[in-house]
Amino acid sequence: MPKALPLLLMVIAFAVSSAWEVAAWGPRGDAMFFEVTDSPSQRLDRAVRWCMADPQLALPPADCTGRAPRMGSLNAGYSKLALWVAVDLERARSVPGALLLDIDYPSLDRVEVFDPARPGTVLAVLGDTLPFAAKTLSSRSLTVPIDIPEGRSTLWLRVESRASLTVPLALWRPSDFAVHERSGVALYAAYYGLVVGLALFYLLLAVGVRDLTFGFYSAYALALGLGLAARNGMGAQYLWPHAPALSQHSMWFGVVATIVLGSVVVIRFLNLRERGGWTLWGINVLVACSVLVALPGIFIQAEWAWPLLSVCMLGLCVTAVVASVSAVRRRVPAARPFLIAWAFLSVGVVGLALRNLGVLPTNFWTNSAIELGSSAELLMLALALAARFALLRDANQHAQSALLLMQRRALAASALAEQRLEQRVFERTGELEAANRSLRDSEARLRDMTARDGLTGLSNRAGLRTGLEAAITRWRLGGRPPAVLLLDLDGFKPVNDRHGHAVGDLVLVEIARRLQRAVNDGDEVARHGGDEFVVLMHDAGDAAGLEARVARVADALAEPITLEEFQGIVGASIGVAEVASAVESSESLLRRADMAMYQAKASGSGRWAYAPRLPG
């Protein structure tokens, strides 16, 4: 229960804020004028009347009697028509006339504000289709100074937008609005600092532990931040002030990328591909629907695209929560904080989607629901990923402990064998020569075992190091310069995931066999660990010859593998490094080859790249 308390508080906040607005506003008559006072801020939502009209209409319509909902700010949904908004105002002589009109919904495409003192005259044009420099005031929201005449007057606005036609209106004293604006920017700065900080941290962690789940989470956080920056005006103010078209494109791209990357995080974290079931099928269908819905919204400005995308987001959050509950029941590691994280995000998405669809009122809680929910979700998801990292670390420590135990047992067995051998020598001096010969043979086999990979029969890390240091030493004494090829299999992990480790071992054996056939006589092939192999060429030769030999290795691995249990292509990314420095060591040579391999992998599967030559 304590873990669910913040989530419960968010739900209660939505309900209480909506109920408060119903009680606070109450009914009003058509003849009511909004009394302008000298308050720091005044919300105009309850005084709004509105109507929809043809986009060709440039002047306020004669008949516009529709009223805003009794709860929240005006939300006219999605439409290609123009929204006309009127507010009947009444200002006493003692109230200053110079105020700021604030429309705190920066994603509106175009807003024309008419001068209440001069009916029919456009006072200002605002919207995210204009450069930020075109704004009357340097503000995240749509803000314009307005001089309200004494007595009664009518403030008209004409609004067009592909996004939700939400028009929250408020009058501010300039000094109080400046304080309000600074506070809002500070809150958004804290939010985006959290997003960028977590994204960078888990990107570095993904590189360090080589777990793509952390990398997908990093990209997911950045996509979420990009979409929200386009929605709340921070992107137009700080990221693309001179490219207003990016506001709309970034919002679409950010939302769709968040859906796709968030789905990948859910699938990988909860191991849904291994389990399958309707949740995996549902997530894939919702992701495909989101992408298909976004295309007409981007290219033909379909007004139905955003509502459908909101429905897809709702369905995806519900499916992710159900999958997380199932993972908790299956005792999937770190599934509980993952469930809490997605529950927070789901509350935020539900609040925003229902607000966009007109089910919930537009107020601070529903308009900021996605920021509040995603903040809590990112923090909880970070805890879940931290738990995943701890599991990876514990598994690595367990493997190291097991290896150390095996080494100790081997040493103990060797010591016992030596004791027995000495006893036999002491008791049977006549068998001394035979016993010594047997001991030498045993030591040779032990050295060979410690330098060989048990699965493929190739040299292991220790054997590779010995051969590489010997080759470098010969080169220093005037021999031919060696080169190494470090290969990382591109499609091996799915083989293990889908067919099991037994089939994966057969594939590794086949890869080793192909490498031994593809290299020249005298070259050594070693298994560097996992799905990495190293080819040691004792004579690198000229550039053209080396290129041909690398290509022969790559072609050998690109051929389809046909086994009883598996058929497919694995392929490899190859990094090539040549000895070129008097201070070159085996570690630095392998490190440069590893860097070149990652450069090749970034270019696509089956590629190779050369490490830069060091000065001699």
* Catalytic (active-site) positions: 531
Phi–psi pair at 382, nearest 5 degrees: -65, -40
CA distance 188 to 238: 12
- Listed in order, strand segments (DSSP E) in 278-388 are none
Residue 220 is encoded by which pair of tokens? 């997911």
Phi–psi pair at 584, nearest 5 degrees: -65, 140
Phi–psi pair at 384, nearest 5 degrees: -65, -40
DSSP 304: T
CA-based Rg of the chain, rounded to a whole angstrom?
34
Sign of the torsion formed by the C-alpha atoms of 257, 260, 265 and 268: negative
Beta-bridge partner residues of 42: 171
CA distance 446 to 423: 21
CA distance 168 to 161: 14
Residue 444 is encoded by which pair of tokens? 């040779």
Sign of the torsion formed by the C-alpha atoms of 213, 216, 222 and 226: negative
User: In terms of C-beta density within 10 A (0-12 exposed, 13-18 middle, 19 or more buried), how is residue 433 classed?
Assistant: exposed
Find out whether 125 and 110 touch, Cβ atoms under 8 Å: yes
Element containing residue 567 per DSSP (H, E) = strand 567-568
